[in-house]
Structure 1
Amino acid sequence: MTKATVFDEAQVEERLKAELPTWRLEDGWIRRTYKTAGWKGTLMIINTVGHLAEAAFHHPDITASYAWVEVRLMNHAAKGITESDFALAKKIEEVVMWQPGKEDGPLSGTPDDPRFAYIKYEK
């Protein structure tokens, strides 16, 4: 098995700026904090990230509280940020931040009603 190429800090920062502007590099991890409307949304994000990570066989660290989830990615085997971290971060971002009501199609998204709120989307 070939060892994954580890990106240096400058490369990671450049890629985050270009590809994942809501993610940040901190303490050797790429990180993203998702804000939620409460525990239901927090659990939905954790389960979504868990499913995507397991399917990719790449496992993030997750910290959560009532109304937020922080996802941290680093390739443990390579001891740094690799292409697999960027790929999984992009997939997580795509799925978690998907808003069907903002695109054409039969899926309308959740009503604009606090009873149905679960993720606090960035504008």
Structure 2
Amino acid sequence: MTTTDEPATHERVYSEAEVTQKLQSDLPHWFLEDGWIRRKFKTSGWKGTLMVVNTVGHLAEAAWHHPDLTVSYAFVIVKLCTHSAKGITDKDFELATKIEETIQWQPNKQGFKGQPSALEGTPNEDPRFKYIKYD
């Protein structure tokens, strides 16, 4: 029996049809294109864009799974693919889900553990404070 220092990683790579079906059911704002799952987050300007980038960066680093980002004044495009597996794996779906939950969180609408939230949420009616264009 031989051993190596590298762990055996046999990540399940989803077929294109499986990815499309999973996105439709679990992540409807994400789509498959050129071997990546992608999502465009629209912001209200540079401040919001930087907040999205920093949030995605924190989640990606904590997960140790790093997306490609396209960053512009009023949007961020997040692209996920598991390079080591050469395809879309559970890592991509899990990180996409966490990104989606965090960026789209609106405490004044979702509450906390089924209770009304003590947090009022960003005042989106006032352009001085608005930063995310929620779906």
Q: TM-score range by the shorter chain?
A: over 0.9
Name the CA distance, whole Å, in 1 between partners of 2:22 and 2:90.
10
1:91 aligns with 2:103: no
**Paired residue secondary structure (1:37):** coil
- Does residue 109 (structure 1) correspond to residue 121 (structure 2)? The answer is yes
Unaligned runs of 5+ in 1: none
**Over aligned residue pairs, what C-alpha RMSD do you find?**
0.6
Matched, 1:63 2:85: no
User: Gaps (5+ residues) in structure 2?
Assistant: 1-7
Where relative contact order (Cα < 8 A, 6+ residues apart) is larger, the structure is: 1
Q: Deviations over 1:33-90 (max 9, x none)?
A: 0000000000000000000000000000000100000000000111100000000000
Match of 1:119 in 2: 132
Q: Please name the residue that 1:5 is paired with.
A: 12
For the residue of structure 2 that corresponds to 1:47, the secondary structure is: helix
Matching residue's letter, 1:116: F
Q: Which has the larger radius of gyration?
A: 2
Structure 1 residue ranges, 4+ long, deviating more than 6 angstroms after superposition: none
| Identical pairs, percent | 63
TM-score (norm 2): 0.89
Mapping 1:17-28, distance limit 5 Å: 17-28=24-35
Residue number in structure 2 paired with 1:45? 52
